[in-house]
Structures are given as structure tokens and as C-alpha cells.
Amino acid sequence: QLQLQESGPGLVRPSETLSLTCTVSGGSVSSSYYWGWIRQPPGKGLEWIANVYHTGSTSYNPSLKSRVTISIDTSKNQLSLRLSSAIAADTAVYYCARQGGDYARPPFDYWGQGTLVTVSS
């Protein structure tokens, strides 16, 4: 059974870089899927941040593109997210997820449990 687990600091100071890791078990980030990050501010809806294909090809939400970097590390079976110049509005639960299934333009079928990141001084 595929499992995803996010990890990283729960508190980030404004203007610093938010860095998160998602460890994948029960499967490989090298397999032919897209892997992504989605966030959810407290009490609000879901926002797609970025995704990365197993080849390393990336796609970003234009609203965050100038500050975001997504990558995969096949040796550690992980994907990572870096969000620079953090602001209070970046406070959210961050989820990693797989886009998978035998379907074109697939949905997010596996999700991590999420990790709350608070941006505050």
C-alpha cells in the first residue's frame, strides 16, 4: 500500500524559506506518475502548488511560481518543496499527493496526512 508522509518545520519566520519533504513508501517516485503538493489554509479550501513527473519535469501554480521549487530525490524516494520569502498567508496544512490511476490527466489518488506550517515571528 502506497504511503506518503510529510515532514518539516512547523514554524517558519517571515521572509525565510519553507522547506518540506515527503517520504514515499510502498512505491517509488521513479515510477511513471506525477507527484504534487497541495495546501490548505486553516478553515479554507485547497490550493494546488506544483507537481513533478518522475523524469523531473515540473509544473507550478503561476500564483506561487516565483517562490516555489519542487523536486524529487530518487535515491531517498522523496519529493521536496521549497517556498521562499514566506509570508503569513503561506500558513497552511501542506499535503503531498500522487496523481495516479489508469486515466489520462489523473486525479490525486494518494495523499499524505498533511503537515501544518505556521509562518510567524
Partner 1 sequence: DIQMTQSPSSLSASVGDRVTITCRASQSISNYLSWYQQTPGKAPKLLIYGASNLQSGVPSRFSGSGSRTDFTLTITSLQPEDFATYYCQQSYTTPYTFGQGTKLEIK
When asked if residue 109 is in the footprint of partner 1 (CB under 8 A), the reply is yes
When asked if residue 113 is in the footprint of partner 1 (CB under 8 A), the reply is yes
Task: Determine contact, residues 20/80, Cβ cutoff 8 Å.
Answer: yes
What DSSP state is assigned to residue 15?
T
When asked if residue 99 is in the footprint of partner 1 (CB under 8 A), the reply is yes
Q: Give the nearest distance from C-beta 51 to partner 1 in angstroms.
A: 8
Over the window 73 to 92, marking each residue x when it contacts partner 1 by CB under 8 A and - when it does not, the resulting string is --------------------
Q: Give the nearest distance from C-beta 21 to partner 1 in angstroms.
A: 17
42-70 CB burial, b ≥16 within 10 A, e <16: eeeeeebbbbbeeeeebebeeebeebbbb
**Contact region for partner 1 (CB under 8 A) — 21-29, 68-76, 77-85, 96-104?**
96-104
Nearest Cα to 44, choosing from 89, 107, 6, 12? 89
Task: Determine contact, residues 48/61, Cβ cutoff 8 Å.
Answer: yes
Residue ranges binding partner 1 (CB under 8 A): 45-48, 51, 59-63, 95, 97, 99, 101, 103-109, 111-114
